[in-house]
């Protein structure tokens, strides 16, 4: 595959002097960063106060102030997440009705159908409820719609599945809040439904369910709205444990179950990209520890497959290694293997299923790679970025399980929002991704008359469209996008840097202190640091299967670090031995053959002209 050239930075007569230059004692401006660098300037007094009260290094104090913290209770809770700070499950709307109905079902030996969704959030949430019902001796079966044939959430397949297994109670995970019609059909068939979900409520009437447990319901008074679906299911499980224990302090075996179940919640919390603050931070923090020590055979096998056994796990490990494998089966059709893996009770079937997921993930990557090549080729027809500010491309038979990922790749490659449509005969489904600061949904509003359905957010959206409308849709979306772009001036993407650090100060001891801010993710961003005036200690190398990545050894004083730039291979010609380089990076641990070392993940670099 050829590495496409991202658009060139605008040439300017005067070299760009960012705030970084003004903070340097002997400023030397080095133009040529591909992104627009700016250095944050946290309030010095607030930083000093944190250093004094929390005894953190100044760099950590700066990171904290940059993330909105000041000395006080909130920062202490952030640095030391406490399980006791989790909110009471019964603060969620309708929790009592839900736990009472389920306790009755367990007592009377009713069959409970756990109805999840096919992504990581749904799969892990389904698993944790299944484990609870089994632990409590209940009759429970699960159902996850087939992405390609059933589509998302509830439908006729749900009623069919309930009837087939003789369920009288359905518990949803990660969906159901908008499934009024099917939930009524279930009720007409004598089946009660308990919804656990985290999606926004629809306008108009809510489903006629026994209970809708969702922190985003209009009348919810729950203190935190941003739980993922598996976390809401976990809250239901916790509520059940309290109900059964007859006290808010739960029985020992149930307490152990809840601790174990938190590992599933951590996976979902990271993969569903909910903000890693408040309760989510506590769940992710403890859940990642539980995950690393899990005794669930499925988790053990999965970690082994990901080469993550016997080590501390980060949000990155979950997001890039564990998540994609759990998602792979659902993407290619049925999420059954993923649920079966997580539910496996013996090592043999766990190992076998982990292998299956690994193969499916490879298959998914192969399909994705092929599709990226086709999509890139198709995108060449729309290389004029002014005429086509949004890439809208479509292809017959493009796998709908990977079009979202392919759209992300196009965004990275072309630095433009992209809508990728997989056509299946006369109709197709599209998936759009955007660049920061541009709402692709807003652009899609311009093409509303050419789509059957669409929706989403500013950064990610989806649609259904007729094949013969694709060209008209492209024109309409690009027309709207041109008017949006005309209103905004900045060409380069912003890169906001937390602070500067000489490489010699970046020690393992300091890194352990930075680790206290983990897990990083939405609303708790990875630290981005800059080191100025570094040199290569050996020639830059281009690495990776597709030869798209950059690997450097950077030196400053006596300190040398490996630095990796994903998708930055095209920067290699700028890099010469002896040249001054400024790098922007995130420090991270890398474990290879049992050895853990500090390395740098490059965000951007700029070199002497």
- The residues binding Mn ion (CB under 5 A) are 121, 174, 229, 272
How far is 233 from 240, CA to CA, in rounded Å?
Answer: 11
For Mn ion, the closer of residues 110 and 272 by Cβ is: 272
E strand or H helix that includes residue 256: helix 252-271
What one-character DSSP code corresponds to residue 546?
T
Cα 597 to Cα 318, 421, 520, 583, 604, distances in angstroms: 19, 42, 19, 19, 21
CB of 272 to Mn ion, least distance (A): 5
CB of 280 to Mn ion, least distance (A): 13
Task: Give buried/exposed letters for 445-470 (b at 16+ CB in 10 A, else e).
Answer: ebbeebbeebebeebbbbbebeeebb
For Mn ion, the closer of residues 110 and 121 by Cβ is: 121
For Mn ion, the closer of residues 372 and 405 by Cβ is: 405
- Using a 10 angstrom Cβ sphere, with 0-12 exposed, 13-18 middle and 19 or more buried, the burial of residue 385 is middle
How far is 478 from 388, CA to CA, in rounded Å?
Answer: 6
For Mn ion, the closer of residues 174 and 582 by Cβ is: 174
282-286 own/partner pairs: CB under 8 Å, 24+ apart: 282/81, 282/82, 282/83, 282/85, 282/86, 283/86, 283/231, 283/234, 284/315, 284/519, 284/521, 285/81, 285/518, 285/519, 286/81, 286/83, 286/259, 286/262
Which residue number has the CB closest to Mn ion?
A: 121
Residue 386: how many other CB atoms lie within 10 Å = 8
Two tokens, residue 426: 């006369």
From the list 578, 585, 544, 542, the residue with the least C-alpha distance to 563 is: 585
CB of 260 to Mn ion, least distance (A): 21
CB of 226 to Mn ion, least distance (A): 11
Two tokens, residue 505: 């100060």
For Mn ion, the closer of residues 233 and 299 by Cβ is: 233
Residue 488: how many other CB atoms lie within 10 Å = 9
| Order of strands, sheet of 139-143, starting from the edge strand that comes earlier in the sequence | 139-143, 111-115, 169-173, 192-196, 211-213
How far is 73 from 80, CA to CA, in rounded Å?
Answer: 10
For Mn ion, the closer of residues 30 and 284 by Cβ is: 284
> Which residues lie below 8 Å from residue 14, measured CB to CB, with a gap of 6+?
none
For Mn ion, the closer of residues 42 and 229 by Cβ is: 229
Two tokens, residue 210: 């026994």
CB of 120 to Mn ion, least distance (A): 8
For Mn ion, the closer of residues 269 and 548 by Cβ is: 269
CB of 354 to Mn ion, least distance (A): 23
CB of 455 to Mn ion, least distance (A): 15
- Using a 10 angstrom Cβ sphere, with 0-12 exposed, 13-18 middle and 19 or more buried, the burial of residue 288 is buried
CB of 372 to Mn ion, least distance (A): 26
CB of 198 to Mn ion, least distance (A): 6
CB of 224 to Mn ion, least distance (A): 15
CB of 72 to Mn ion, least distance (A): 32
For Mn ion, the closer of residues 111 and 153 by Cβ is: 153
Residues in the chain: 609
For Mn ion, the closer of residues 200 and 491 by Cβ is: 200
For Mn ion, the closer of residues 66 and 431 by Cβ is: 431
For Mn ion, the closer of residues 105 and 276 by Cβ is: 276
What one-character DSSP code corresponds to residue 250?
P
What one-character DSSP code corresponds to residue 147?
T
């Amino acid at each position: 595959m050829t590495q496409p050239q991202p658009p060139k930075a605008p040439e300017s007569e005067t070299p760009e002097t960012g705030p970084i230059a003004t903070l340097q004692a002997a400023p030397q401006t080095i133009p040529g960063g591909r992104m627009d660098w700016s250095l944050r300037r946290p309030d010095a007094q607030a930083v000093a106060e944190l250093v004094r009260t929390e005894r953190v290094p100044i760099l950590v104090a700066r990171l904290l102030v940059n993330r909105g913290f000041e000395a006080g209770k909130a920062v202490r809770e952030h640095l030391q997440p406490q399980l006791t700070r989790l909110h009471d499950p019964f603060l969620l709307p309708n929790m009592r009705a839900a736990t009472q109905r389920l306790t009755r079902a367990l007592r009377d030996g009713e069959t409970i159908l756990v109805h999840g969704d096919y992504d990581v959030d749904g799969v892990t949430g389904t698993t944790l409820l299944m484990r609870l019902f089994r632990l409590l001796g209940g009759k429970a079966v699960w159902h996850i719609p087939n992405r390609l044939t059933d589509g998302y959430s509830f439908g006729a397949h749900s009623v069919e599945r309930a009837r087939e297994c003789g369920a009288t109670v359905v518990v949803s995970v990660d969906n159901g809040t908008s499934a009024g019609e099917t939930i009524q059909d279930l009720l007409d068939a004598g089946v009660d439904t308990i919804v656990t979900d985290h999606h926004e409520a629809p306008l108009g009437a809510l489903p006629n369910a026994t209970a809708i447990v969702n922190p985003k319901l209009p009348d919810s008074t729950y203190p935190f709205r941003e739980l993922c679906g598996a976390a809401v299911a976990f809250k239901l499980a916790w509520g059940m444990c309290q109900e059964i224990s007859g006290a808010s302090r739960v029985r020992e075996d149930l307490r152990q179950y809840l601790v174990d179940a938190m590992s599933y919640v951590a996976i979902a919390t990271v993969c569903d990209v909910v903000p890693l603050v408040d309760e989510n931070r506590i769940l992710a923090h403890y859940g990642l520890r539980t995950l690393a020590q899990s005794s669930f055979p499925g988790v053990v096998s999965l970690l082994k497959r990901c080469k993550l056994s016997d080590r501390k796990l980060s949000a990155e490990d979950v997001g890039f290694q564990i998540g994609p494998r759990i998602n792979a089966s659902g993407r290619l059709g049925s999420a059954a293997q993923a649920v079966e893996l997580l539910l496996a009770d013996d090592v043999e079937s766990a190992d076998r299923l982990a292998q299956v997921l690994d193969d499916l993930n490879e298959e998914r990557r192969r399909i994705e790679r092929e599709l990226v090549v086709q999509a890139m080729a198709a995108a060449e027809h729309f290389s004029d970025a002014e005429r086509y500010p949004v890439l809208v491309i479509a292809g017959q038979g493009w796998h709908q399980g990977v079009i979202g990922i392919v759209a992300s790749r196009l965004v990275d490659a072309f630095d433009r929002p992209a809508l990728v449509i997989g056509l299946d005969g006369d109709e197709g489904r599209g998936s759009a991704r955007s660049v920061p600061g541009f709402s692709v949904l807003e652009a899609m509003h311009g093409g509303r008359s050419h789509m059957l359905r669409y929706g989403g957010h500013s950064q990610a959206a989806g649609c259904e469209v007729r094949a013969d409308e694709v060209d008209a849709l492209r024109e309409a979306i690009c027309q709207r996008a041109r008017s949006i772009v005309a209103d905004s001036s900045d060409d380069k993407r912003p890169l906001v840097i937390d602070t500067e650090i000489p490489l010699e100060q970046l020690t393992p001891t300091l890194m352990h202190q930075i680790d206290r801010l983990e897990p990083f993710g939405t609303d708790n961003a990875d630290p981005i640091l800059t080191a100025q005036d570094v040199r290569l200690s050996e020639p830059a190398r281009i690495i990776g299967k597709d030869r798209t990545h950059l690997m450097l050894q950077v030196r400053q004083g006596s300190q040398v670090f490996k630095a990796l730039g994903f998708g930055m291979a095209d920067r290699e010609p700028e890099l010469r031995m002896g040249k001054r380089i400024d790098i922007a990076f995130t420090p991270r641990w890398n474990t290879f053959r049992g050895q853990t070392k500090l390395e740098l993940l490059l965000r951007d670099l700029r070199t002497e002209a």
